[in-house]
Amino acid sequence: MFGPIMIPADAPIREFSLSRVAPNPSHGVTQIVWSIPRESRLRLTIHDVQGRRVATLADGAYPAGRHDVKWNPLAERGGVAPGIYFVRLQSPDGVFIRRLVLAY
């Protein structure tokens, strides 16, 4: 059996990527990590299962490299209900989506 492939933090970034959301399932604050190979404009949003946007976490130009943001769904206006959500990264190379389960 093989373990996970470990990529050094200083390894060059060759493509856009959206890493796993952690922790998942989440009981509160969640960390979202993405990587971009060159300066680019992107948008990172959270959507419910009906496709409605519930949060925008990043929207603008970012330098090449690894980036992260912490999201506290309980701090959103009125709070975000437990359930299944989707983290969506829109980049020049396409759209990347990860599933997130909120369980309070």
Question: 3-53: per-residue pLDDT in tens?
Answer: 444 556 667 899 999 998 999 999 999 999 999 999 999 999 999 999 999
**Phi, psi (5° rounding) for residue 74?**
-75, -15
Q: pLDDT class for 96, splitting at 50, 70, 90?
A: very high
Of 4-13, 58-67, 87-96, least confident by mean pLDDT is 4-13
**Confidence at residue 104, expressed as pLDDT on a 0 to 100 scale:** 85
**What is the end-to-end Cα distance of the chain in Å, rounded?**
34
CATH 2.60.40.4070, domain 17-102, yes or no: yes
Q: Which residues pair with 82 in a beta bridge?
A: none
Tokens of 10: 């200083």
Is 62 exposed, middle or buried (CB count within 10 Å of its CB: 0-12, 13-18, 19+)? Answer: middle
**Confidence at residue 79, expressed as pLDDT on a 0 to 100 scale:** 86
